[in-house]
Amino acid sequence: MFLLLGHEPLSSADSGPPCKVPRYSNLTMADHFTVTRHLRDLSNEDLIGVGEALGLYYPHLRKMNPLLEELVAAWLNREDNVQSASGDPSWASLSKALRDIGQSGTADKIAKVWS
């Protein structure tokens, strides 16, 4: 496997082919699948909490279906109050939001792969 400088694949424990995402840059819609894979085990309640911590408005979150995919897309597209609440979408801002709602285990997994 070839790696570009500053890129890291997901661990082999994850299903599917490895994805390469810049470790230190802001995330974009091109990273939607990879972000979604990291959050797929969270409950809807936790997803709403993460969305709010990232700056998405609760009424907007309630209308999302499927919640996970639309939440990630809204965050990556900087909708609602994302820029002011959590800054540019990044692994660091996602990890902080996860820690803020008590999901340190998921935040630690992300930090292990992407920091």
- Is position 52 within any domain? yes
Query: Residue 77: pLDDT above 90?
Result: yes
- Is position 62 within any domain? yes
Single pTM value for the model: 0.79
Least confident of 19-23, 59-63, 66-70, 73-77: 19-23
Q: pLDDT tens digits, residue range 10-59?
A: 443 444 444 444 455 799 999 999 999 999 999 999 999 999 999 999 99
Q: Which domain holds residue 81?
A: 27-114
pLDDT of residue 24: 54
pLDDT of residue 9: 44
The phi, psi pair for 7, rounded to 5°, reads -115, 150
pLDDT of residue 55: 98
Calculate the alpha carbon distances from 66 to 9, 40, 57 in Å: 26, 11, 16
- Is position 72 within any domain? yes
In the chain, the number of structural domains is 1
